[in-house]
Amino acid sequence: MGPALLLPAATTNALGSEKFGLGPSIVALTQPGPWTVGFLFNHIWSTSGANDRPDVDQTFLQPFANYNLGAGLSVGASMEASGNWEADETWTAPLLFNVSKVTLLGKRPVSFVVAAGPTVASPEGGANWRFRLGATFLFHGRVF
């Protein structure tokens, strides 16, 4: 449990809200055997920013399940539902199926992921399919 923050850091105004925002964030998960199953929730309300832009009142819900195949390889599924309470058509919800692999790139651990799936809820004219390719560099250190 902790805060979710919104910063107006988009490289162009069309990609961001131009607002600062804050709200709660909660994740709960369990790892029975080779499974990781859980749920992520956050909600953000705008606190300040450009007066000529709409306020932010946004929910994010992400149920997820992953199965560890061993040797850093896993498969899974998640729904990344976002609700914009300031819009007429509130929800966008892609269902993503993924394959990920944790490996070393030189001496640095990296998690690679490929995900794709249909959008099960979307505003008029929204995307009906999603694809993701990602790399996350993993760092660890001492806790003081």
Over the stretch 82-95, which tens digit does the pLDDT of each residue have? 999 988 878 999 99
pLDDT, one tens digit per residue, over 59-76 is: 999 999 999 999 999 999
pLDDT at 79 over 90: yes
Q: What percent of the chain has pLDDT over 90?
A: 80
pLDDT at 112 over 60: yes
Q: How many CB atoms lie within 10 A of CB 123?
A: 13
Whether this prediction's pTM lies above 0.75 is answered by: yes
- Domain ranges for the chain, please list them: 2-137
